[in-house]
Chain A
Amino acid sequence: MKLAIAEAIATERDMASISIPIPLRDRARTGLLGWLATVDHKKIGVMYMMVAFSFFVIAGVLALLIRLQLAAPNMQVVDPQTYNQIFTMHGTVMIFLFTIPMLVGGFGNYLLPLMIGARDVAFPRLNAFSFWITLGAGLVMFGGFLFGARSDAAWTAYIPYSSKTFSPTIGMDIWLLGLILLGIGSTLGAVNFLVTLYSMRAPGMTAWRIPMFGWAMGTTAGMVLLATPVLTAALIMLVADRNFNTQFFTTNRVQLWQHMFWFYSHPAVYIMILPAMGIISEVIPVFARKPLFGLRAVVISTILIGLLGFTTWVHHMFVSGVDPTIERFFMFTTMVIAVPTGVKMFNWLATLWGGSLNLKTPLLMCLGFLATFVIGGISGVMQGSIPVDQYVHNSYWVVAHFHYVLFGGSVFGIFAGLYFWVPKITGRMFDEKLGKLHFWTMMIGFNVTFFPMHFLGLLGMPRRIATYDAGRGWEAGNLIATIGAFLLAFSVLIFIINCIKLRNGERAGNDPWEGNTLEWSTTSPPPEYNFREIPVVESDRPLFDARMRTPSA
């Protein structure tokens, strides 16, 4: 019912100036207890975002320590042991405590019910439980870090580094326990999202009218559901090996850990990129003033990526001594998965093409995503080839690759989403000038940091080394990377300042960007029940329809 939405917008807008009466339910739940005891998907989403962002800052500081240590040959900022602990924690926190909780827990929770026209997720209390268990897991991991028991076997926890022999302290066990808890939290969250998406859509929202972000979250949740339990099994097995003397990962069977770990962790890289792709698929059409080019192609390639994501994990093990026939199969699938990724790339470019681009910060972040992600995709395909990978594996080339896809992709996507939806979440607009400054410092800082790493890798610099001698040709690249890292940190500082300035930001109103999806039909921030009236959807851009129908709005 386009009319109803249009009317709702009109009335909401009119009421905004008369100050909206808050229903009693809402008022009762403000204040600290209102947050801690909440089962509202929006508050839970915001808490995920806050927690994840805090972890982002912490892991970022660890990254600065890494870059300081490597800025010049033979630096002694930290000792090698501590260095190992720092990069372990940096990787673990960025992946498990920042990117995944931010995208899935934060954006997923906040937006999914709003976008599909629901009042909440299917199981709100389970949702709150997932959040608290995730936070608890994060604290467990840091608990070990603070009390001197730290894991130092990298985020991949390869055997034998993570075995009792090489990681004798309880730090490793705490790390494993934290990951097990996190896995439980995200598996339950995935169940919740899948049921929500399947059964809670507003009337009229047929499959092809689900917003792209919804499809991305659905695929992501499916991958979480299928992949995470396998990692959980492996983690429990490792705990048992370390403490109960079982014999799963004895030294002549190190590959078993790698298989089980990458069976989860390759899908996990898509768990981290698909929601970001979903975000930019929502943002680009709004700022190009065009519908998403080939929505169905994007949906189908998203699902294909989700399925194929389970068939490529051995490309992380090309030097582990896997049977060559098997390796070749996985090389083939790795090349194949680049195809649906490329399809999406063309869809975004075609959406931009000929659009009347509104170059606000959210769109800039999306352009940053496209420009950097494509480089990461290309370096990925290159190292997906066995002969190339045997040369670059475990070198800084790989570090460059995954930062181009994870920072250039996921993190730019996250910031695109924040600049786009924080006005909805808070009711205030960001400062556009600071936003642009944030984008440009981040874009430049990012490339200055990570582009030289391609060369360092090709020059033979291994990853995860605490220091290096002069005279190998690695000095310049490392120094440039360190300078870039501080620029990058500065850009995040600008974002934080921009967040603080939100208090006095311009009022956003219901629909500051002329959006397409249902969340823009309700107030900013939305009431606890989201929609006064559940909307009825008649196309994949319900708000666009509504605008077309209200002559003066």
Chain B
Amino acid sequence: MMDKSNLAMHMAGSQRWSDSRPDSRVGQPQPAKPTRVKNIGLLGVAFFIVSESMFFVGLFLAWFYLRATSDAWPPAGVAPPPLLPAVINTGIALLSTVAVLFADRAIARDNRSGLIAGIATAGALGVIFMAVQSAEFTALSALAQGSAYGSTFTFLLLFHVLRVFVGVVLMGVVLVRALLGHFSSRRRLLVQGTAMYWCFITGVWLVVFAVLYLLS
């Protein structure tokens, strides 16, 4: 089979046999850095989120294993955690996710003030989330040392809230750079990455909320 699309062939002005499996890309002009996806940065964030999820899978594995091998869960004498703060935080997490997605949509349409408003709201909600969690921790710290239940409970909350912290820092960077006039519909990798990561953090929270509060 003759490969007519081959640039080099045309340039060389000769004909030659081609591989029996033609490929549509052959002969296209050569980019300096060939890449098959529009945004390799986001692909990197996606893979990173996969590894982050596996970290939580590990912690949940411990939770379910310890739960299955314990007589009582939570152990006798330990009250189940109060629902109210967790419910409030679930609302906050969902709201902040909406805000961060709004911010990303806004800059996609080159609306920088929308980006600033959205990311500032989401960041502020993230800070409130952390404040509520830190109140939880003071209540929990004694529990962590006493039992397997307390240990896994605190660990799941702790490592989730660490991610929230990272997310808030990222949003702070986005905010400052947006105020400095950075980002546009074409250059918004950091905004998109932050939004993706924040959605992941909210997703983890929903699982944490379901498993630790609703199913115990």
Using CB atoms and an 8 Å cutoff, list the residues of chain A in contact with chain B.
1-4, 117-119, 122-123, 126, 187-188, 190-192, 194-195, 198-204, 206, 208, 225-234, 236-237, 240, 244-248, 250, 252-253, 255-256, 259-260, 263, 533-534, 536, 538-539, 545, 549
Q: How far is the CA of A244 from the CA of B158 in the complex (A)?
A: 14
Residues of A within 8 A of B33 (CB): 118-119, 200
Q: Nearest Cβ in chain B — how far from A253, in angstroms? A: 6
Does B216 make an interface contact (CB < 8 A)? no
Q: A195-B40, A538-B18 are in contact. Are A248 and B66 (CB under 8 A)?
A: yes
Does B209 make an interface contact (CB < 8 A)? no
- Contact between B26 and A1, CB atoms less than 8 A apart: yes
Q: A195-B40, A229-B51 are in contact. Are A539 and B19 (CB under 8 A)?
A: yes
Q: A4-B8, A122-B40 are in contact. Are A203 and B34 (CB under 8 A)?
A: yes
Does B186 make an interface contact (CB < 8 A)? no
Residues of B within 8 A of A545 (CB): 19
The interface-forming segment of B82-90, B96-104, B149-157, B188-196 is B149-157
The residue in chain A whose Cβ has the minimal distance to the Cβ of B22 is: A538
- Would you give 26 A-B contacts (Cβ < 8 Å), ordered by A? A1-B9, A1-B27, A119-B32, A122-B35, A123-B40, A187-B51, A192-B44, A195-B40, A200-B34, A200-B35, A200-B40, A201-B36, A204-B23, A230-B54, A230-B55, A231-B58, A232-B55, A234-B58, A234-B62, A244-B144, A246-B151, A247-B145, A248-B66, A252-B69, A534-B34, A538-B19
- Contact between A253 and B69, CB atoms less than 8 A apart: yes
Question: What does DSSP make chain B's interface, helix, strand, loop or mixed?
Answer: helix
Q: How far is the CA of A203 from the CA of B23 in the complex (A)?
A: 9
Q: A3-B9, A232-B55, A237-B155 are in contact. Are A195 and B26 (CB under 8 A)?
A: no
Q: Nearest Cβ in chain B — how far from A28, in angstroms? A: 20
Residues of B within 8 A of A208 (CB): 21
- Contact between B145 and A245, CB atoms less than 8 A apart: yes
Binary per-residue interface labels of chain B (50-75) against chain A in the complex, 1 for a CB within 8 Å, 0 otherwise: 11101101110110011001000000
Q: A230-B61, A244-B145 are in contact. Are A3 and B30 (CB under 8 A)?
A: no
B143-197, CB < 8 A from A: 144-148, 150-152, 154-155
Q: How far is the CA of A202 from the CA of B36 in the complex (A)?
A: 9
- Contact between A259 and B65, CB atoms less than 8 A apart: yes
Residues of A within 8 A of B144 (CB): 244-246
Q: A126-B44, A244-B145 are in contact. List 15 more A-B contacts (CB 8 A).
A: A201-B34, A202-B34, A203-B25, A203-B34, A225-B50, A225-B51, A230-B58, A233-B58, A233-B59, A234-B62, A237-B62, A247-B145, A247-B147, A248-B152, A549-B16
Q: How far is the CA of A246 from the CA of B149 in the complex (A)?
A: 10
Does B138 make an interface contact (CB < 8 A)? no
> Which residue from A187, A248, A534, A538 sits with its C-beta under 8 Å from B30?
A534
Give the number of residues in B that approach A within 8 Å (Cβ atoms): 52
Using CB atoms and an 8 Å cutoff, list the residues of chain B in contact with chain A.
3, 6-9, 12, 14, 16, 18-19, 21, 23, 25-28, 30-37, 40, 43-44, 47-48, 50-52, 54-55, 57-59, 61-62, 65-66, 69, 144-148, 150-152, 154-155
Q: Nearest Cβ in chain B — how far from A7, in angstroms? A: 8
> Which residue from B8, B35, B151 sits with its C-beta under 8 Å from A199?
B35
Residues of B within 8 A of A201 (CB): 34, 36
- Contact between B148 and A247, CB atoms less than 8 A apart: yes
- Contact between A2 and B16, CB atoms less than 8 A apart: yes
Q: Nearest Cβ in chain B — how far from A529, in angstroms? A: 10
Residues of B within 8 A of A256 (CB): 62, 65-66
Q: How far is the CA of A259 from the CA of B33 in the complex (A)?
A: 43
The residue in chain B whose Cβ has the minimal distance to the Cβ of A2 is: B16
- Of A123, A237, A536, most buried by chain B (CB within 10 Å of CB) is A536
- Contact between A229 and B54, CB atoms less than 8 A apart: yes
The residue in chain B whose Cβ has the minimal distance to the Cβ of A200 is: B35
Q: A3-B9, A246-B151, A253-B69 are in contact. Are A230 and B44 (CB under 8 A)?
A: no
- Contact between B145 and A229, CB atoms less than 8 A apart: no
Residues of B within 8 A of A244 (CB): 144-145
Q: Nearest Cβ in chain B — how far from A238, in angstroms? A: 11
Q: Nearest Cβ in chain B — how far from A468, in angstroms? A: 37
Residues of A within 8 A of B19 (CB): 538-539, 545
- Contact between B44 and A247, CB atoms less than 8 A apart: no
Residues of A within 8 A of B145 (CB): 244-247
Q: Nearest Cβ in chain B — how far from A133, in angstroms? A: 15
- Contact between A233 and B16, CB atoms less than 8 A apart: no
Q: Nearest Cβ in chain B — how far from A263, in angstroms? A: 7
Q: Nearest Cβ in chain B — how far from A195, in angstroms? A: 5
- Contact between B61 and A199, CB atoms less than 8 A apart: no
- Contact between A538 and B51, CB atoms less than 8 A apart: no
The residue in chain B whose Cβ has the minimal distance to the Cβ of A535 is: B30
